[in-house]
Structure 1
Amino acid sequence: MSLELNNIGVAYGTKQVLSNITTDTIKPGSLVALLGQNGAGKSTFVKSLAGLIPYQGHAYLEGMELAKMHQYERLKNIGYVPQTLPQGNSLLAYEVIKSAASALQQHNQEHLIEEVFERLSIAHLAFYPMHKLSGGQKQMISLAQALVRHPKLYLLDEPTSALDLNWQMQVLNTIREEVNSQNSIALLISHDINLALRYCDQVILLHQGNILSIGNPKNSLTTENIALAYKVEARIETCSQGHPIVLVDKPI
């Protein structure tokens, strides 16, 4: 399913937080990094697409206006993983993920649940109560709740923020594989620019509620754009495997 965004705006009362967010058609199989400094509007952007706050303009997922989707259509097509960690309650991790699968009355639920535990390497957490899990483990459960439904659009707000390097790569490998195998789309917020560049096809760089640049990482993340968006002086190098690397020298 393709995603089209046309003149998306979000306001909190009289304060306009996002303005004129417009993109070319984002094609199935795309993993898109949403970058920008704190307060640029990244979380507001994905919350609006997730239906948590209203937006102006139009957002279409394969021709369906996101704002007009019924609850079941949202559950089926959109997987939102918030930055806020799941609550620590007495429910087992397995029960939390089962509730997500049951919401769509999916067939072969047990197989889907077992598969997502294995893909994320968290089967050992299945029968732990949520209140006994660490922050990083809760974050994995939150991602599993989205993955078990195989939605067409993933809205991921810093899904690796509570994870160490090993788990960060495991999560991003899984997201990359999911996008490729299911022909879905993922919008990924990250403060780790280099990690995002390693996995993402496209970059949307936000600055003060507007799109500063959009496109492939090489064209979107220039030294000039990084300086404007992050207020730092940086260089862009290429690693031995051909990935771009941002090296920050000093604040501006």
Structure 2
Amino acid sequence: MYRSTLFICIALLSCLPAAAFAWEEDPNICALFKNAQIEGTFVLYDVSDHRLGGCNQTRAETRYNPASTFKIAHSLIGLSTDAVKSVDEVLPYKGPTEPFIPEWAHDMGLRKAIKISNVPIYQELARRIGLERMREGLATLQYGNQRTGDVVDRFWLDGPLKISALEQTRFLSGLVQGMLPLPKHVQESVREILLLEEGSDWKLYGKTGWQNAPGNGIGWLVGWVEKKEGMYVFALNIDINKPSDAAERIKLAKESLKLLGLL
């Protein structure tokens, strides 16, 4: 009964931003993208006041490969299936001798792996989970188009898995409230390892992603700001046309959050 209720809750939650709340376009946030000469979208969902808005609604509803932002859902699925016992259980590195990021080439747990976005470590986790349990996890979380294809350790990088910025905020709003149909301690563990930085009255949580790194592709930053008065979930994606555009993910997201008085 309890699990059924949770499934109903997340199903309702997934409909709320799109169906129940009108989109509020923010011209000041759009000006940030224009001034930076970056094509993209920013979505903010106020969990307490149920307000939804940002810049470029059409793009916010468009699905793209999640790239490394999938590590959030990936961690949840891995922990809830016992493919890994905790965020500190060490997973073996089985990637190339000279990876894209040299720091990847070590055995490590999810706590460290998510901080440096270690692709080979998460590929090992995916192989432990397996396609069947991964598909079940995606369906449980109602994550994007829920498609894995037949390659268990590449589908979030190359497709067919895709998700929109709006869907990212729906998914994360469930996580920040502990409303996903997964054990509470699993959700708490994943929230903990996503902390990026904090100020005097706020904490910023999140995960970057870069589809087709280090080449042209889609760049992501998704997460939330925790303040005393509430939770504010956000998702940003941009076109990356040159390597220097990657830095704009964090810059534009933080500028948008500051503009909204959240940082």
Per the TM superposition, whether the score is higher than 0.5 is: no
- TM-score, normalised to structure 2's length? 0.32
Bigger proportion of residues as helix: 2
- TM-score, normalised to structure 1's length? 0.33
- Which structure has the larger Rg? 1
